[in-house]
Structure 1
């Protein structure tokens, strides 16, 4: 007997993370990680590059499943959930091309295309009303009353992502350069850290501006800001401002009735108390009716949860043209 299976993917700044598993809650294989972010082009997220990475990963995972020491029936990957960074703004080509590519390569019959903020929400809170702040290199807040979605920020390091890792790192480097110049608002402590990490300040622009991974380069300085914060008021002020931005975004998307839950997810919160203490204080002031809870899982966990619910006909999260769409592939189009 063929086992009903699923494919779950988290596509973000660190590449693809992929899991295959059994719909009924049985075994899963993975995750495998590609380590290479999917390229973007004239049509947004590059479907061809996405499939170039995904196909060998899924083949490897299904081969592992079939050669396991435990007896297993072959899995039918009838359901796929793809959580992708940039889907809302750069996903037109992916929405048009990916379902057919998945149908041809793996026999997928139902595809859910989700913004990575949606899979982050599902991983953190499941199907409970509330808000999730997802913070890593960038930052986005997403909330739902289970009728519709609201999002705030997530506009990238040039136009937003206020309070995210790149934002904190850039603010820290600005304070270092102020100290280097002798301008007000500088931090000698952050200047020392910046010189240790990047070398002479005169060469800093050349080490940042030309980099295609500029947001990640900036975000790499955020831990140094947190390191200085207990003894440096400038660094502490940067983290306090980041916490204020996060609380503002959470308040913009959180349901205003009932007792919604708020969760934090993403690698930025590994900065610990220098960020979390002011953030908890600001969330309590901005959202006194909400309850802060620990995130249950990460975005890949959310993709797995959505896949199992979708396959069981029990998906309770609201659909949205940009944030979460479910399609039945036709199988037409180019072969990747």
Structure 2
């Protein structure tokens, strides 16, 4: 299937007819929901997008580079055929977990991309970096990327600073999983008759999960536990207008998110801050207390709308490689550009 994605939106393959597309770029966004891929011409006039719903596996050495390549091959070839790209020169791969699970990917992926597609320059980026570049481009500021998880990343264009993103057991404070877990805890407190419980959240938890004694068995054994917890976050938001416990959970989530943003935002008058990710579609129950928290903690930072998503960030980095590289700080874990020699 081919769909649009902001600046990465595909156009008809005959756009700009009379000018051979020739060389092009590859942009990849690899995350918990699968792969998204854009192949585009170097002049930016033609691009095509493909998706795979299969997440890239992790193994003893971290993210499985072979599994990533096996998924990329058909997606890239069909996209290249659509766009008329005959030679890929640059690639940007944004991957969830690159900072902590990226050793195999860094060691093997650039050479594999060279062998299969002839790519000469590869940027390997953490998904937080591609989220930043998709939202703000190359300017100083901070981006909060929040969905099931939550991470904040900022830069003054000399170095990167990150906060949280430690997963649902150790962090991701204020995320969808965090909100959902807090809402279910309030439901269980009401079930037990303890202080801090919420009858409305108990009612919604029973509708979603059944009798409360069975809830632990539906959560603890699941390998997708963060997503299960996050599935209850919209119920917390739905109760927030009339339930003080639910409203309090969202106020605390807003405080956590603002704390992470403040930890990474450069202290300059030029800094901007953007929010990106599905969590912020929750609307006013979260956004209103978050706006107050951000104004208090970051009075010098200007709020702006995000330009786009992490896939757009990968597109921007891949196209910048053809012009001498992205004007962003290099980092061994977060953003690394590799020039690949031929075999």
Equivalent residue, structure 2, for 1:17: 36
1:200 equivalenced with 2:219 (yes/no):
no
Structure 1: 5+ residue stretches without partners: 67-73
Q: Distance in 2 between matches of 1:115 and 1:200?
A: 40
Equivalent residue, structure 2, for 1:70: none
1:171 equivalenced with 2:182 (yes/no):
yes
1:115-130 alignment to 2 at 5 Å? Answer: 115-130=126-141
**Paired residue total:** 324
Does structure 1 retain, via aligned residues, the 8 Å contact 2:317–2:325? Answer: no
Q: Distance in 2 between matches of 1:302 and 1:316?
A: 13
Pick the aligned partner of 1:85 from 92, 96, 102.
Answer: 96
Equivalent residue, structure 1, for 2:7: none
Equivalent residue, structure 2, for 1:188: 199
1:288 equivalenced with 2:299 (yes/no):
yes
- SS of corresponding position for 1:210: coil
Does structure 2 retain, via aligned residues, the 8 Å contact 1:122–1:302? Answer: yes
Equivalent residue, structure 1, for 2:290: 279
Deviation at 1:95, TM superposition (A): 0.5
C-alpha deviations, 1:32-74, integer Å up to 9, x for none? 22112111111111112111211111122122224xxxxxxx3
The 4+ residue runs of structure 1 with deviation greater than 6 A are none
Equivalent residue, structure 2, for 1:212: 223
Q: Distance in 1 between matches of 2:151 and 2:178?
A: 12
1:234 equivalenced with 2:255 (yes/no):
no
The range that moved more, 18-27 or 128-137, is 18-27
Q: Distance in 2 between matches of 1:65 and 1:26?
A: 9
Pick the aligned partner of 2:262 from 240, 251, 270.
Answer: 251
Q: Distance in 1 between matches of 2:132 and 2:42?
A: 20
Q: Distance in 1 between matches of 2:164 and 2:69?
A: 29
Does structure 2 retain, via aligned residues, the 8 Å contact 1:112–1:324? Answer: yes
1:61 equivalenced with 2:72 (yes/no):
no
Q: Distance in 2 between matches of 1:135 and 1:2?
A: 37
Equivalent residue, structure 2, for 1:33: 51
- SS of corresponding position for 2:139: coil
Deviation at 1:259, TM superposition (A): 2.7
C-alpha deviations, 1:87-135, integer Å up to 9, x for none? 0011111100111111111111110000000000001000110000000
Q: Distance in 2 between matches of 1:2 and 1:61?
A: 13
Does structure 2 retain, via aligned residues, the 8 Å contact 1:101–1:331? Answer: no
- SS of corresponding position for 2:43: coil
Structure 2: 5+ residue stretches without partners: 1-19
Deviation at 1:4, TM superposition (A): 2.1
The range that moved more, 268-277 or 21-30, is 21-30
- SS of corresponding position for 2:145: strand
Q: Distance in 2 between matches of 1:61 and 1:149?
A: 33
Q: Distance in 1 between matches of 2:54 and 2:117?
A: 22
Could you tell me the TM-score, scaled by structure 2's length? 0.92
Could you tell me the TM-score, scaled by structure 1's length? 0.94
- SS of corresponding position for 1:269: helix
Equivalent residue, structure 1, for 2:326: 315
Q: Distance in 1 between matches of 2:173 and 2:200?
A: 23
Q: Distance in 2 between matches of 1:184 and 1:82?
A: 48
Q: Distance in 2 between matches of 1:274 and 1:146?
A: 33
1:305 equivalenced with 2:316 (yes/no):
yes
- SS of corresponding position for 2:332: coil
Does structure 1 retain, via aligned residues, the 8 Å contact 2:254–2:290? Answer: yes
The range that moved more, 175-184 or 305-314, is 305-314
